[in-house]
Amino acid sequence: MDASRRQQYLDAMGITRYVMREPAATGYPRDAVESGVVAPASLPESGRPAAADISELQPDWAALKTRVASCTACELHASRTRTVFGTGDESAQLMIVGEAPGAEEDRQGEPFVGRAGQLLNAMLHAIGLAREAVYITNILKCRPPGNRNPTAEEAAKCRPFLMQQLSLVKPKVMLAVGGVAAHNLLETDEAVGRLRNRIHYYGEDCTPLLVTYHPAYLLRRPEEKAKVWQDLQKLYGILHGD
């Protein structure tokens, strides 16, 4: 990527003064080795949908969408306006996982359409990706009232849907945005600040997974955008894997 193009991307993310000290990440696996990769780990038992869930949910987009739209597995169905399934390229190389729908997403039925979504779009633009070129979804498909964090039970009930989405998209890499997504996927409570900077591996296919800050957090703490830019460069390296 040449300097003027990079500057354009930084501008799109709202980063006005940033000087690159290191060359962009060159990608996986060399980059993974240099940055202290977390060894591929099989998904913890509790992170897997029960076998019954897997067999019950056929790997078929239409069936999965219908199931999500009519889901009443947890109490959130009672307060939602609509379910928020996921959006974007269903064969994307990049799958982004956020937390849960907010008010605007609940109204529109699409993830990341509010202010945080606009910043997410700018983050993607920063590495040359249109929103439509990636697949975006959340840990939860229904809005928790008052935008509270998902409970463990809600996340567990929704997990088979996410696992099915993952097995259908088959992305080259996943990006967990924010602590809720990272903690649920990786079954840890380590801070995002410690989870970023490493390549994790998720699911039965050991899909490389990066963690970065949630765009809503960046709206409150714009000074953290430079770290996200580093994460995005690492992501770019994996996507364009040398």
> Closest approach of Cβ 102 to ligand URA, in Å?
5
DSSP state at residue 129:
-
Min dist. Cβ of residue 95 to ligand URA (A):
14
What is the Rg, in whole angstroms, of the alpha carbon atoms belonging to the chain?
17
C-beta closer to ligand URA: residue 13 or 100: 100
When CB distances to ligand URA are compared, the closest residue is 98
Separation between Cα atoms, residue 197 and residue 35, nearest integer Å? 7
- Structure letter (DSSP) for residue 183: H
CB of 221 to ligand URA, least distance (A): 16
| Shorter beta-carbon distance to ligand URA: residue 86 or 237 | 86
- Cross-strand bridge partners of residue 209: 174, 200
Secondary structure (H, E, C), 133-164: HCEEEECCCCCCHHHCCCCHHHHHHHHHHHHH
Q: Which is nearer to ligand URA, 30 or 115 (CB)?
A: 115
Of 98 and 237, CB closest to ligand URA: 98
Beta-carbon contacts of 24 under 8 Å, excluding residues fewer than 6 positions away, are 1, 233, 236, 237
Kindly tell me which of 14 and 241 has the beta carbon lying closer to ligand URA.
14
Binding site for ligand URA (CB under 6 A): 98-102, 105, 111-112, 116, 138, 216
The residue written with tokens 């935008």 in the block is: 147
Minimum CB separation of residue 239 from ligand URA in Å reads: 21
Provide the token pair at 113.
Answer: 């359409």
CB of 143 to ligand URA, least distance (A): 9
